[in-house]
Amino acid sequence: MTTTVRAWLIDDSPSSRLQARLGRAWRITGALSRNPLAVVGAAIILVLILTAIFAPFIATHGPLKQDLTQRLLAPGAANWMGTDELGRDIWSRVVYGARITLVIVAMVAILAAPAGLIIGAVAGYFGGWTDRILMGITDVFLSMPKLILALALVAALGPGIENAIIAIAITSWPGYARIARAETLTFKNSEFIAAIRLQGASAMRVILGHVLPLCTSSMIVRVTLDMAGIILTAAGLGFIGLGAQPPLPEWGAMIARGRSFILDQWWVATMPGFAIIIVSLGFCFLGDGLRDVLDPKSGEQH
Amino acid sequence: MTALSLNNLDISYGETPITHGVSLDIAEGESFALVGESGSGKSTILKAIAGLAPEWTGSITAFGKSRSHGIDRHFARLCQMVFQDPYGSLHPRKTIDATLSEPLTIHGIGSQNERVEAVMASVGLDRKFRFRFPHQLSGGQRQRVAIARALMLEPKILLLDEPTSALDVSVQAEILNLLKRLRREQNLTFLMVTHNLPVVSFLCDRLAVMRQGRIVEIADVADLKQGALREAYSRELMEISATHAA
């Protein structure tokens, strides 16, 4: 059974579109699984996702349950990562924090990547004034440091996780627009684009059907690599108190609260810090692996 | 009937003029070649006819209808182009099937499955190639796909931009034979750009020799075969071509 499925996937002459597409996905997955760092990264991300989904089963305590008699306990059998100043179990809070982190990362990717992709592709494809205006706007956003711009936006919109997501999305699309534009320029004058234009295709069809598919692989790589930065920015906003609001178990906010006890009760700030580092690393590893596999220059083989 | 007529065509890229007063008449079913050295403006003429070089003055008429400067859908069904480089003219992420069905989708033509199969058969591509990606094909097969794509809309005029120069010699012959057969079967009109004179004598009825954006001479292929071209420049071009072939 497995051998027939495999043979069907790697068939040299696929008999349907679906088979051709699945075959390509299979070859990319295969190449990815031969890259040890990418596998480690993917495993970390998978653990993060599973943790977020099954948080109620993995957590030993309620993430918001306070017990002032149990405050600031060192890690031990009952509280695997110790407790914080309100007696909440840090392990459970870190586990539930995975949900918040995942939501932030996913929402930013969903909001910022397509926006940047389309703006960049439109600017690159049409050129001229369209390009100048769109890239001018992009440069305005790029000229400000990400965290400072996000801070200003959150300060204006009001603190909170939704506003943090919006602020991070607004600060991260210009980078994607730049990449999409550069990619578009490299093959805008190629013959396969000329050929589809000669068939009478509208500009929208050319951009959506022919330009964007070629930008996506570098975009996926870039977004994956940026995930680490997004997590850090979200944590930074949480740390300053402009991101997730108490009592939400957001990792950055947890570090901020543990700062006061960092010398005597080091685990309060350190445990969520580990979580941030590991997840950021996971995204970096996966992004690097994806870049090796999806790089447009070696992409021909897949 | 005149299939394609160029009248006093001046094409420019921005400030740079490329051609000067080019006039041509190509009859329906005729195969016409534009020859000349690199930079003589022959490819630019094809681009202007196709709509890829929109800055021109003069007139381009196909089957009695004047052509606008941009790319338009009606003209697309009348006239298609085959590009020089089969490696660069197919979208790397689209299967052959997707490449061939897209023109049908654009023009809202039905029974795509049958049409794709019929065109693949007519250009001599086996059915097993249908769902492959371009990188899984050889150069000759890719050029067959590019020709098939140009034929999807059943055009009457085919513009050929050095369709064989990027291919191996043996594959070149196959593609030339294919073009010759397709022209006979579908009564196509060819306008071909090349600097390979043997290709001209094999595939074409008439030729125009170009130099620095001007037509130097229009002659029958019989004259080319007998070495009876009138202009000194044309004979020089023939001699260069002969020494390169030898």
Check if A20 contacts B (Cβ < 8 Å): yes
Average pLDDT of chain B is 90
Q: Is residue A236 part of a domain?
A: yes
Q: What is the mean pLDDT of residues B126-146?
A: 91
Question: Residue B186 belongs to a domain with what CATH number?
Answer: 3.40.50.300
Q: How confident is the model at residue A42 (pLDDT cuts 50, 70, 90)?
A: very high
Residues of B in Cβ contact (< 8 Å) with A17? 95, 97-98, 131
The total number of structural domains that make up chain B: 1
In this structure, is residue B107 part of a structural domain?
Answer: no
What tokens does B171 get? Answer: 């594959």
Q: Range of A286's domain?
A: 32-57+79-301
The answer to whether residue B218 is domain-embedded is yes
Closest CB to A195 among B93, B133, B149: B149
Q: How sure is the predictor about A295, in pLDDT bands with cuts at 50, 70 and 90?
A: low
* ipTM for this prediction: 0.89
pLDDT band at B116 (very low <50, low <70, confident <90, very high): very high
The alpha carbon of residue A194 is apart from the nearest alpha carbon of chain B, in Å, by 7
Which residues sit opposite B2 in a β-bridge?
A: B27
| Candidates A19, A191, A301; nearest CB to B85 | A191
Q: Among B81, B95, B129, select the one facing A198 at the smallest CB separation.
A: B81
Mean pLDDT of A92-99: 93
Number of domains in chain A: 1
**Does residue B200 sit within a domain?**
yes
Under the banding of pLDDT at 50, 70 and 90, the label for residue B152 is very high
Distance from CA of B102 to the nearest CA of A (A): 8
- pLDDT at position B242 is 76
Quick one: DSSP state of residue B157? E
Residue B28 has what pLDDT?
Answer: 92
Strands (E), chain B: 2-13, 16-17, 22-27, 31-36, 56-62, 65-66, 79-82, 157-161, 189-194, 206-211, 214-220
Instruction: Answer whether residue A84 shows pLDDT above 90.
Output: no
pLDDT band at A244 (very low <50, low <70, confident <90, very high): confident
Cα dihedral sign for A181, A290, A97, A99?
Answer: positive
Domain that holds residue B206: 2-90+154-245
pLDDT of A301:
47
Question: Residues B34-49: pLDDT tens digits?
Answer: 998 888 889 999 999 9
> Where is average pLDDT lowest: A81-90, A138-147, B237-246?
B237-246
Mean pLDDT across the stretch A208-216? 91
Per-residue pLDDT of B12-22, as tens digits, reads 988 899 999 99
B193-222: per-residue pLDDT in tens?
988 888 999 999 999 999 999 999 999 998
Assess A2–B contact: CB distance below 8 Å, yes or no: no
Average pLDDT of the residues in B78-93: 91
Q: Which helix (DSSP H) or strand (DSSP E) does residue B139 occupy?
A: helix B139-151
Q: What is the pLDDT of residue A61?
A: 86
Inter-chain contact A214–B71, Cβ cutoff 8 Å? no
**Closest residue, chain B, to A205 (C-alpha):** B106
Q: Please report the pLDDT score of residue A298 as a whole number.
A: 53
Residue A202 lies in a domain: yes
Overall average pLDDT of the B137-154 stretch: 93
In-domain check, residue A64:
no
Residues of B near A (Cβ–Cβ under 8 Å) read: 50-52, 71-73, 76-77, 80-81, 83-85, 88-95, 97-98, 102-103, 106-107, 128-133, 135-136, 146, 149, 152-153
Is the pLDDT at B118 greater than 60? The verdict is: yes
Average pLDDT over residues B93-118: 92
Is residue B116 in some structural domain? Answer: no
> Residue B169: pLDDT above 60?
yes
Residue A293 lies in a domain: yes
Residue A253 · residue A270 · CB < 8 Å: no
> Could you tell me the strand order of the sheet in which B206-211 lies?
B79-82, B157-161, B189-194, B31-36, B206-211, B214-220
A151: CATH = 1.10.3720.10
